[in-house]
Chain A
Amino acid sequence: MESGVFFSDYRNDAALRKMPLQKIRIGLFVLAVVIFPFFASPFLLNLANQIAIATVGALGLNLLVGYTGQISLGQGAFMAVGAYAAGIFTVRFGLPFYLSIPLASLMAAAIGLLFGLPSLRLKGLYLAIATLAAQQIVEWIITHWTGLTGGTEALVVPAPELFGVRLNRDFNFYWIGVTVAGLSALFVANLVRSRVGRAFVAIRDQDIAASAIGVNVFQYKLLAFATSSFLVGLSGALIANYRTIVTWERFTIETSILYLAMIIIGGLGSVSGSFFGAVLITLLPAVINTIGRNFQDSAPAIAAILPFVQQATFGLIIILFLILEPEGLAKLWRNVKDYFRVWPFSY
C-alpha cells in the first residue's frame, strides 16, 4: 500500500495523513460521522454525543498523562470547573453558550495551572496524590459554596439556543459535539507533531535531557497542565450545556479514574487512542445494560445481578487490556494497519 509513494518535500513528509489510503480512510470516517445522525435512533445519538464529549476530555487528559507523563487524578475536578463555570456564566451573567463555553474552558485552564504548580517538585505517584488534593478541594468548594454553585443541589442551566433553535436536543447537539471533538483532536495532533508537543514528550521521556537541550521543563509542565485542563474544562462545559443540569456527583474521583482507564485502554500518548478509549468506556455500560434488558423476561435472575456484573466486567476488561496489550486499542489498530501495509504480500 505504501510502495511507490515518495515525498520530494518536507511538508508532505510531515503531513498527518501521508498515504492515499490514509486519506481515503479518514474521508470515509468523516462521511460516516456526517450521515450517522440521519439514520441513528435517539438512543444511539445520545451515546454518540457522550462519546464526543468524552473524547474531548480524554484528549485533554492524554495530553497531560500520555504525552507529558504527569499523572493526574484531578480530571473530575477540572471537568467540574468547566461545567460549573459554564453554568454560572450563563445563569448569573446571561452569557450565550458560545461565550460561556470558551470562558469556562479558560477558567479550567487557570485552575489547572494552579494545581500544576506542585509538578515543579513532584513526579509520578507523588504528583498523583497532589492532584488528588485538587480533586478534593474543588469538590469541597463546589458542595460548600452554595451561593455560587448551588451546593449539593443541582445547578440548572438554561438550554443553549441559537436563532431560536434549542441546541441541546440530541440531533442538534451532535453537530456541536462532533465539531468540537474533531477540532480538539486536530489541535492535539498538530501540537504533538510540532515544537510544543515535542517538548512535552521530551519531558515525559527524559526530563533532565530535556532541560539540557533547552526545554524550560517547569514552564512546559505548567503549559501542559493548562492546555490539558482547557480541553477537560471544555468537555465539562459541553456536558453542562448538553444535560442542562450540573451536579457535583458527575465529577467525583470516580470520573477521574474512569478517564484514566479510558486513556490507558485507548492508548497513552495517542490521539486516536483517546477516541477509542472514549468509545469503549461509553459503550460498555450501554451494551451491558442492553443485554440486561433482553434478559429481563427470560432470565430475571441474570438481569438482577447485571448492574454488579457491569462493574466487574469493567474491571476485568481493564485488567485484560493491561496484560494483553499494554499499549491499548490504538496499538491494536496500528497492528491491523501494519498487517495491511504490504498486503497481500508477506513483506
Chain B
Amino acid sequence: MSAPPVILDVRNLELRFGGVKALSGVSMDVRRGEIFAIIGPNGAGKTSLLNSISGLYRPQVGEIAFTWPDQPAVSLLSRKPHQIAALGIARSFQNIELFRHMTVLENLMLGRHVHMRGNVLSCGLYWGRQQREEMKHREAVEDVIDFLEIESLRSKPVGTLAYGLQKRVELARALAIEPKLLLLDEPMAGMNVEEKEDMARFILDINEERGITTVLIEHDMGVVMDLSDRVAVLDFGKAIALGTPDAVKRDPDVVHAYLGEQHGELEAPGASE
C-alpha cells in the first residue's frame, strides 16, 4: 500500500513577533487520513504553528500549502481565517473559544455558516428557501450532535456547561464544518481520565468513521503515543523530530528536549510535563 497523499505541506516556516522567533524553519507534511500529533515543551511554538495554518498568524517566511485530490494546491499564507475555514480546515482552541451566550445548537449551526447562502434579506424574511436551508443544515448539525452524544445539551447556553462538555461542544462545532482537515489545540487539557478517554474515543471515531485527517497538539504523552500515526516534535520554534510515535520516543534530541542531559529513554510517558 502506497502512502496516502500529502494534503498539508508546511515548508520552512518562520514566524517572528518583533525580535522573538516563535517558529524558525519548521517543515512538516500531513497525509490524508492520518492523526498527526504535534508535541513539545511549553513555549515550543505548537499553538503558533496551528495559528499559522488557520490564518490567525502571518508567518514572514515559508509556505503552507493545502492540497486536496483533484484540486489545485492552495497557499494558506495569503488567505484570511474565514477563507481557510471555507477550504475545509476547522479547528478548536486551547482555551475554549465558544460563543458563550448561544446555545449548543446555535454554536453548531455556525459551523454550517460556510455551507449556507442566506443573506440579510432572505434571513430577515425567513421564508421559503431560507427556511428550507435552515432546516436542511439543522439535520447535518443533528448528525454531529448524535455522533458526539450531546443530545441532552442541545438547547443549553454553552456558557453554563461544564468544562469537559464545552471542549466536546467545541469539537462538535469544528465537525459541523465537515472539515477535510481538523486542527485540535489540546483537546484534552484539564480533563480527568474518564473525560480524556471519551475524547480519545471521539477523535479516533472521527478519524476512522468520517475519515477526517486530524492534527492535534497534546501534552499527555500516553494519549499522543496511543492515538497518533505520526508525531512532530517542536522545541524552541524548531522541528527537532518527525516520525512514528515509537521512533520519536527514542530520538535522542527529543529525550534531550524533554528531560535534559544524561537521561536514557523517555520513560513514564505522561509524567514528563
A interacts with B: yes
Using CB atoms and an 8 Å cutoff, list the residues of chain A in contact with chain B. 10-11, 14, 187-188, 190-191, 193-199, 201-202, 204-206, 208-217, 223, 227, 269
| 30 residue pairs A–B, Cβ–Cβ below 8 Å | A10-B138, A10-B142, A11-B131, A11-B135, A14-B135, A187-B124, A190-B123, A191-B120, A194-B134, A196-B120, A198-B110, A201-B99, A201-B106, A204-B101, A205-B98, A206-B99, A209-B99, A210-B110, A211-B80, A211-B82, A212-B55, A212-B90, A213-B82, A213-B85, A213-B110, A213-B111, A213-B173, A215-B82, A215-B113, A269-B101
**Which residues of the partner chain B approach A201 to less than 8 Å between Cβ atoms?**
99, 101-102, 106
Q: Who on chain A is nearest to B173 by CB?
A: A213
Does A208 contact B56, Cβ atoms closer than 8 Å? yes
Is B99 within 8 A of A199, CB to CB?
no
Is A199 touching B113 in the complex (CB atoms < 8 A)? Answer: yes
Contacts of A214 in B (CB 8 A): 82, 85-86, 113-114, 177
Residues of A within 8 A of B174 (CB): 213
Interface hub of A187, A199, A204, A214 (most chain B Cβ within 10 A)? A214
Say if the beta carbon of B244 comes within 8 Å of chain A: no
Q: What CA separation (Å) do A213 and B90 show in the bound complex?
A: 7
B238 at the interface (CB under 8 A from A): no
- Tell me whether B2 is interfacial, beta carbon within 8 Å: no
- Using Cβ atoms and an 8 Å threshold, which residues of chain B touch A187? 124-125
Which residues from chain A contact B133 at a C-beta distance below 8 Å?
195
Interface centre among B118, B120, B139 (most CB of A within 10 A): B120
Of B93, B124, B125, which one neighbours A209 at CB under 8 angstroms? B93
Residues on A with C-beta less than 8 A from B70 are none
Given contacts A188-B124, A194-B118, A199-B110, 16 further A-B pairs with CB under 8 A are A190-B124, A190-B125, A195-B134, A196-B120, A197-B123, A198-B110, A204-B101, A205-B99, A205-B102, A209-B97, A211-B80, A212-B85, A212-B93, A213-B177, A214-B113, A214-B177
The docked-state distance in angstroms from the alpha carbon of A202 to that of B173 is 12
Contacts of B214 in A (CB 8 A): none
Residues of A within 8 A of B173 (CB): 213
**In whole angstroms, what is the CA distance A205 to B98 when docked?**
8
B167 interfacial by beta-carbon distance below 8 Å: no
Q: Give the residue of A14, A211, A215 whose beta carbon is less than 8 angstroms from that of B134.
A: A14
| Contact A202:B110 (CB < 8 A) given known A10-B139, A223-B120 | yes
A213 touching B134 in the complex, CB below 8 Å, given contacts A190-B124, A190-B126, A198-B102: no
Residue of A193, A202, A204, A212 contacting most chain B CB atoms (<10 Å): A212
Q: Give the complex CA separation of A195 and B113 in angstroms.
A: 7
B139 → A minimal CB distance (Å):
7
Alpha-carbon distance between A208 and B85 when the two chains are bound, in angstroms = 12
Would you call B119 an interface residue if the criterion is a C-beta within 8 Å of the partner chain's C-beta atoms?
yes
Report if B91 contacts A (CB, 8 A): yes
Q: Are B91 and A194 in contact (CB under 8 A)?
A: no
Closest chain B residue to A188, Cβ basis? B124
A289 CA / B211 CA spacing, docked (Å): 70
Across-interface contacts of A215 in B (CB, < 8 A): 82, 110, 113
